[in-house]
């Protein structure tokens, strides 16, 4: 009897989105940072006694560890599947937050937030996008990648006000405990809904496939082959710049907004998160229509202009709160496009079979950019009292990134074919998410 596989793509996509909505707590660091800075200034027994120049270190280390853990996490995702990898991520994030809830030590926060939580975010994040992409045709790569990673950017919309409320109500340490336990449970449960399609599955709309024909094998570029390609290193440099500039602003936006917004500065984080999430979805759709390279070039140029516009604003003692929030929102939007475009580049150029480790290697640029730019901006702020120089450097780097993008060969988006129900290869396993649909269901669908 003919059998087909029910497409679980949308449920897998929603589970990945949910995991990223939890792990996106990384982008709320500026709220936690504000509480730590206040404790340093106030002093007293049991408070934080850190050097102000090192205030961004846990966040910077988390960015770096997040990125480099994606290599190991990607390998685990490719070999063990997304469920176990995501569950390991939830446990690591939970343990990291629970640890820092018990201490004000600088070293403990670097290890707990930076290393443990950073690694956990890497494991969870690496497991969310690949299984979702495997359920959909190439023509929807940008859209699906954008939707899944939008959760990571959107997380601050609810976490920033919640964090502000908890910090004011029960203190920073107790807030970390609440977040740690909550995200351990949530990510672990959502990981159970991550499924890879069965062997031989071809998504409806995949080009050149027919109902009774096995799919054409996708590209299968090995990591070492990828590392020897010029396109990898060009993308690495561009990602370093685009991510570093955005993470610099995300890590400091609450502090920058505090002068003009006071206690409501957390709202700047939440509003910026909306732009961050929207950029991921919009860029995904745009790149499916006009190509990845064209979309990336547009976003880099716009981001450079926004950095230039920020220089007089952050350098002013009486900056306009609405203008600052508006600029931060558009910076978040342009930053978010990176997290949609680069997974799509990775799939287009090097295929899905080794997507986890290949994208993990490319993603190291995100962590390196975030680490360098976040640390640099905090050191500049501590020595000059202004972020203006940081924005100037970021703007110049973005122009360089745009110039490198011009050397990338554009890839045309793939047009989808009409919906077709596809069969798995003869004898292929139905494990890990496949559901059997009887022949009469297929006939009913075709009508």
Task: Tell me whether residue 380 is in a domain.
Answer: yes
- Spatial CB neighbours of 272, under 8 Å, sequence gap ≥ 6: 156, 249, 250, 253, 325, 328, 329, 331, 332
Task: Tell me whether residue 213 is in a domain.
Answer: no
* Type and span of the H or E element at 100: helix 82-100
Alpha helix segments (H runs only) across 211-320:
223-227, 230-250, 253-261, 266-290, 292-314
12 SS3 class: helix
Question: Which pLDDT belongs to residue 445?
Answer: 41
- Spatial CB neighbours of 50, under 8 Å, sequence gap ≥ 6: 36, 40, 106
Task: Tell me whether residue 252 is in a domain.
Answer: yes
Torsion angle, alpha carbons of 11, 12, 14, 17, to 10? 180
The pTM assigned to this predicted structure is 0.71
Task: Tell me whether residue 358 is in a domain.
Answer: yes
Question: Which pLDDT belongs to residue 111?
Answer: 96
Question: Which pLDDT belongs to residue 236?
Answer: 96
Question: Which pLDDT belongs to residue 178?
Answer: 95
Question: Which pLDDT belongs to residue 3?
Answer: 38
Question: Which pLDDT belongs to residue 353?
Answer: 81
The domain of 226 spans 4-197+218-411
CB 422 within 8 A of CB 206: yes
CA neighbours closer than 13 Å in the CB half-sphere of residue 191: 27
Question: Which pLDDT belongs to residue 318?
Answer: 65
Task: Tell me whether residue 446 is in a domain.
Answer: no
Question: Which pLDDT belongs to residue 260?
Answer: 62
**What CATH number is associated with residue 138?**
1.20.1250.20
pLDDT tens string 134-171: 888 878 877 887 888 888 878 888 888 898 899 989 99
Give dist(CA 420, CA 415) in Å, integer: 14
Please identify every stretch of the chain with a pLDDT value under 70, giving residue numbers as ranges: 1-7, 204-219, 253-265, 315-319, 409-447
Task: Tell me whether residue 193 is in a domain.
Answer: yes
CB 156 within 8 A of CB 24: yes
Task: Tell me whether residue 444 is in a domain.
Answer: no
CB 373 within 8 A of CB 247: yes
Domain count, the chain: 1
Cα distances (angstroms) measured from residue 429 to each of 191, 200, 425: 21, 9, 9
Task: Tell me whether residue 273 is in a domain.
Answer: yes
CB 187 within 8 A of CB 89: yes
């Amino acid at each position: 009897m003919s059998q087909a596989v029910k497409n679980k793509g949308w449920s897998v996509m929603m589970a990945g989105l949910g995991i990223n909505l939890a792990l996106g707590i990384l982008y709320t660091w500026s709220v936690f940072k504000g509480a730590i800075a206040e404790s340093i200034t106030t002093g007293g027994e049991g408070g934080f006694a850190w050097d102000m120049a090192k205030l961004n270190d846990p966040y910077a280390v988390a960015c770096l560890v997040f990125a480099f853990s994606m290599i190991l996490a990607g390998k685990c995702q490719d070999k063990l599947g997304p469920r176990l990898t995501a569950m390991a991520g939830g446990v690591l994030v939970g343990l990291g937050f629970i640890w820092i809830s018990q201490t004000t030590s600088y070293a403990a926060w670097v290890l707990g937030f930076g290393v443990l939580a950073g690694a956990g975010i890497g494991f969870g994040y690496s497991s969310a996008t690949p299984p979702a992409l495997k359920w959909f045709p190439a023509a929807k790569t940008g859209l699906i990648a954008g939707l899944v990673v939008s959760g990571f950017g959107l997380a601050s919309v609810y976490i920033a006000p919640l964090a502000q409320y908890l910090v004011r109500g029960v203190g920073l340490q107790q807030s970390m405990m609440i977040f740690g336990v909550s995200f351990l449970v949530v990510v672990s449960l959502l990981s159970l809904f991550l499924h890879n399609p069965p062997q031989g599955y071809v998504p409806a709309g995949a080009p050149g496939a027919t109902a009774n024909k096995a799919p054409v094998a996708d590209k299968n570029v090995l990591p070492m082959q990828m590392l020897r390609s010029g396109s990898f290193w060009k993308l690495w440099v561009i990602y370093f710049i685009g991510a570093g500039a955005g993470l610099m602003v995300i890590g400091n936006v609450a502090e920058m907004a505090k002068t003009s917004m006071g206690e409501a500065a957390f709202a700047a984080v939440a509003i910026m998160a909306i732009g961050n999430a929207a950029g991921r979805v919009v860029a995904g759709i745009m790149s499916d229509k006009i190509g990845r390279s064209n979309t990336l070039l547009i976003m880099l140029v716009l981001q450079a202009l926004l950095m230039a516009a920020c220089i007089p604003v952050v350098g002013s003692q009486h900056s306009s709160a609405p203008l600052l929030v508006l600029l931060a929102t558009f910076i978040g939007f342009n930053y978010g496009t990176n997290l949609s475009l680069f997974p799509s580049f990775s799939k287009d150029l090097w295929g899905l079979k080794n997507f986890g480790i290949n994208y993990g290697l490319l993603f190291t640029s995100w962590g390196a950019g975030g680490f360098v730019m976040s640390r640099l901006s905090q050191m500049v702020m501590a020595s000059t009292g202004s972020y203006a120089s940081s924005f100037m450097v970021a703007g110049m780097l973005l122009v360089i990134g745009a110039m490198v993008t011009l050397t990338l060969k554009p890839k045309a988006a793939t047009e989808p074919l009409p919906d077709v129900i596809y069969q798995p290869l003869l004898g292929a396993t139905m494990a890990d998410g496949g559901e059997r649909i009887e022949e009469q269901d297929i006939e009913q669908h075709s009508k």
